Amino acid sequence: MGNIIVWFFKVANIRLIIGMSVVYLIFPLYLLPNIINTGNVGPLDLLFWYNHDTLYHMLTSYGEALRTRYIIGLLTADLAYPIFYGTLLAMILTLIIKKLSIPFPKKIILIPYVVVSFDLTENSILVFLLSTYPTKHTVIADIAGFVTAIKWCAFVIIALLLVYLVVYGLRSRKSKATANNTPKEP
């Protein structure tokens, strides 16, 4: 794991993050809407939380063709998407820590992969539920909603962590600059 962290700190730079951000936009703006096109109902994994009733109502509304298309999307673009955004978030965390000289444990940059693991777990459960429809697995469907909620909560925590690190780093930098500019007493 140490080698991965060293690699992140070695390669993270603003150009890479800008490039990754441009590639990232391809997922939500083109790939996911075109591959996981669930019509007017919308995909389950964009909801904050759902229970088995909501899930099975949505699966019924999709129809057979959309359910099949959703499975394909979950196993292709939505398999790569979490790994990509997790890596992008890890790169952003790395750059913030590196550029603002924040004295936090370097392992903190791996936190986005917690969201990735919940997102991939959610996708796996949804593939199972979509492929076994119309058989109802109410407990598994409720677990899917719970995993989705955890994914979104973890994402919010990461967003707050990013904001906190930037504020902490900027304040720390400002206080160091102020301390260096303060005249020394004889």
Q: What is the DSSP string of 98-138?
A: HHTT--S-GGGGGTHHHHHHHHHHHHHHHHHHHHHTTS--H
- Checking if the pLDDT of 45 tops 80, the result is yes
Averaged pLDDT for residues 28-37: 85
- Checking if the pLDDT of 107 tops 90, the result is yes
* pLDDT score at 172: 85
Query: Which tokens go with 30?
Result: 């083109």
186 confidence band (pLDDT: 50, 70, 90): low
* pLDDT score at 183: 62
* pLDDT score at 38: 75
* pLDDT score at 37: 75
175 confidence band (pLDDT: 50, 70, 90): confident
Q: Model-level pTM greater than 0.85?
A: yes
Which contiguous run of DSSP H or E holds residue 158?
Answer: helix 138-181
184 confidence band (pLDDT: 50, 70, 90): low
End-to-end CA distance of the chain: 49
Averaged pLDDT for residues 91-102: 94
* pLDDT score at 35: 81
* pLDDT score at 72: 94
Q: Average pLDDT, whole number, for the chain?
A: 92
Contact status, residue 86 vs residue 115, Cβ threshold 8 Å: yes
Instruction: Name, in order, each residue with C-beta under 8 angstroms of 136's C-beta and a sequence gap of 6 or more.
Output: 52, 56
* pLDDT score at 39: 73
Averaged pLDDT for residues 112-140: 98
Query: Which tokens go with 10?
Result: 């070695």
* pLDDT score at 36: 79
- Checking if the pLDDT of 40 tops 90, the result is no
